Structure 1
Amino acid sequence: MDASETLELRCADAWRAVTEDKIGDWRLRAAGGFTGRANSALAVGDPGMPVPQALDRVREFARDQGIPPVVHTIVDSAAERAVAAAGWVPDTGHAAGHLVSVLLGPLGDGPCDGAEVLSRPTSAWWELTAGTTEPGPARRHVLTTGEIGYGVAQITGGAVRAAMTGDLLHISRLAVRPGHRRRGLAKALMAACGPWAAARGATRCVLQVAVDNAPALALYEALGFGEHHRYRYWVPACEDRSL
């Protein structure tokens, strides 16, 4: 596998779905509709069968799990070309953005005034990262499975999820309340996660941001991150996506 494929698998390990299966190297994932990453087939590696046949299996798995069929591919990869040739189309209706930049950067090590990484999530952390103080089983599984740190800032004016995956720190769900923005909380949260991850063997940080999220991309560029590759979501050209 090339570096982009390896990095995609590492990110997938940091964001585990509730239900997982495999078609050869491809990973089938379902988590009750909570996030695209946890409810799509990661088309990395060899599916062990012709791609059209593998896509039929993706449809079957999605139908069994009550989710729309979606495939997650590395942009310009052989798998993506094969998925497109099979008649699937980019999922331009994906709410969080169907085209995503995968960024690599250094661990934060600057001042982290008012920010810390907790060993357990608080109600305020859940509210900011999952949109509810009473998350259901799917949200709990995806956000708490693995070696996780729960970053909070200034009495939870901001929050972030920090996950270890090998020697990488995987950052996700960074959020700052509207009334606390432009105070440096996002940078403080990133800085707090760095020492937490370094103590667990991390040497670099990886995160995933929709390409149309200009404020987030600007923040991470200022912190020294650069794009490693992009991925994209695909759906059948003709499919009932109301599930």
Structure 2
Amino acid sequence: MEISAAGRLEVRITAADVGKRVSVRSLIEHGPPGEKFTDTVGVLTSWDKGVLLITRKSGESVRIAESALVAGKIVPAAPARRRGPAASYEELARVAARAWRPVESERLGDWELRAASGFTRRANSVLPLGDPGVPLDEALDAVRRWYGERGLPAYVQTATGAESTQELLCAELEERGWVREVTAELWVGALAPVADRGDPAVVELSREAGEGWLARYQRKGVSEVALRVLGSGPSVWFATVPGAAEGAPPAAIGRCVVDGRWAGFAAVEVDPELRRQGLGTAVMAALARQALDEGASAAWLQVEADNAEARALYAGMGFAAHHAYHHYRAPDADGTGR
């Protein structure tokens, strides 16, 4: 908190600081006994009619009455130190997008509109990396028309929690009634330690998602479009640990896309009856060794916020969160997002 020469807390932010990362202390109106203040750190996304809106790293929006402010200051745009390989949000967003390509896309300025017959939100949402080239309301109208013509709901994928992420866009979407349906995180880590774990000898690698691999994949009834998305990317590998019985679904599977220095892991799934036996680790180790052979040195993956088991596995491998990402759905004609 900012403290004056006289030792008093001061508010050193104004409405002109919208878009900057701030730390504020405010009064708690109905807090627990003995607690009078609360601290909030995030991007100041609006200051209007006596109310501040601060978007935290997680994407959560916090409203604070201007009259409740006790202290406030601008803080660095991102933490000075971060675990894992150094990378900008834009670099990772583009790498992740190349690893999961839609079957159809169109540019709207610096925005990419993506569609794949509804197979996953990632392949059926707007990736807004920059300016759409028109006012926001006009851009969102164009987005809704484009997806409506394809019989799909309109989604915009945004990110929070790192330098140059889109807290302001999140706030503007929420102001217009767009509903955040899913929040997950993109984690990064060094690749070599992943390759050193597990027993990759039990893992089979292939360039295609065969019938066995698909039998374990959590999304059933995979269409031709889905197969195109699964097979998209600069250098795609599928890992399989065969089942114990002939003809049985695999014990574990995984997917990896190698793209320059990056290896992106996805679809790491293990037979529920065989979990905690190191099979997921073995799958990732085999894929990591292949990626190292192709010149990669860093790794990324995406994990949902409520998947405690996966988060513990990846943290144990040295991965750490880089940023959160969200999918906002356009409101229906009645103003809801449903």
Common fold by TM > 0.5: yes
Please give the secondary structure, in 1, of the residue aligned with 2:133.
coil
Match runs of 1:21-60 below 5 Å: 21-60=106-145
Answer yes or no: is the 8 Å Cα contact 1:43–1:79 preserved in 2.
no
Q: Which residue of 1 aligns with 2:216?
A: 128
In structure 2, C-alpha distance between the alignment counterparts of 1:130 and 1:53, rounded to whole Å:
37
State yes or no: 1:153 paired with 2:241.
Answer: yes
Please give the secondary structure, in 1, of the residue aligned with 2:114.
strand
Q: Which residue of 1 aligns with 2:300?
A: 206
In structure 1, C-alpha distance between the alignment counterparts of 2:259 and 2:174, rounded to whole Å:
30
Q: Which residue of 2 aligns with 1:82?
A: 172
2:207 equivalent among 119, 126, 129 = 119
Q: Higher mean Cα deviation, 185-194 or 71-80?
A: 71-80
Gaps of 5+ in 1: 92-97
Query: Larger RCO: Structure 1 or Structure 2 (Cα < 8 Å, ≥ 6 residues apart)?
Result: 1
Answer yes or no: is the 8 Å Cα contact 2:160–2:323 preserved in 1.
yes
State yes or no: 1:101 paired with 2:179.
Answer: no
In structure 2, C-alpha distance between the alignment counterparts of 1:152 and 1:120, rounded to whole Å:
11
> How many aligned residue pairs are there?
234
Please give the secondary structure, in 2, of the residue aligned with 1:198.
helix
C-alpha distance after superposition, 1:21-54 (max 9, x if no partner): 1111111111111111011111221111111111
In structure 2, C-alpha distance between the alignment counterparts of 1:166 and 1:53, rounded to whole Å:
36
Q: Which residue of 2 aligns with 1:138?
A: 225
Label 1:32 to 1:130 Cα distance change in 2 as closer, same or farther (>3 A).
Answer: farther
In structure 2, C-alpha distance between the alignment counterparts of 1:184 and 1:113, rounded to whole Å:
12
Answer yes or no: is the 8 Å Cα contact 1:89–1:234 preserved in 2.
yes
Of Structure 1 and Structure 2, the greater helix share is in 1
C-alpha distance after superposition, 1:185-227 (max 9, x if no partner): 0000111111111112211111111111111111100110000
State yes or no: 1:173 paired with 2:236.
Answer: no
State yes or no: 1:232 paired with 2:319.
Answer: no
Larger Rg: 2
Letter in 2 for 1:218: A
How far residue 145 of structure 1 moved from its aligned partner, in angstroms, is 1.7
C-alpha distance after superposition, 1:118-165 (max 9, x if no partner): 223221101222534x63111111001232101112442100111122
TM-score by length of 1: 0.89
State yes or no: 1:164 paired with 2:254.
Answer: no
RMSD between aligned residues: 1.9
Letter in 1 for 2:188: L
In structure 1, C-alpha distance between the alignment counterparts of 2:91 and 2:251, rounded to whole Å:
35
TM-score by length of 2: 0.65
Q: Which residue of 2 aligns with 1:13?
A: 98
Answer yes or no: is the 8 Å Cα contact 1:10–1:166 preserved in 2.
no
Please give the secondary structure, in 2, of the residue aligned with 1:65.
coil
Answer yes or no: is the 8 Å Cα contact 1:160–1:171 preserved in 2.
yes
Gaps of 5+ in 2: 1-86, 244-249
In structure 2, C-alpha distance between the alignment counterparts of 1:6 and 1:54, rounded to whole Å:
24
Answer yes or no: is the 8 Å Cα contact 1:68–1:241 preserved in 2.
no
Please give the secondary structure, in 2, of the residue aligned with 1:192.
helix
Percent identity reads: 32
Letter in 1 for 2:240: V
In structure 2, C-alpha distance between the alignment counterparts of 1:149 and 1:160, rounded to whole Å:
8
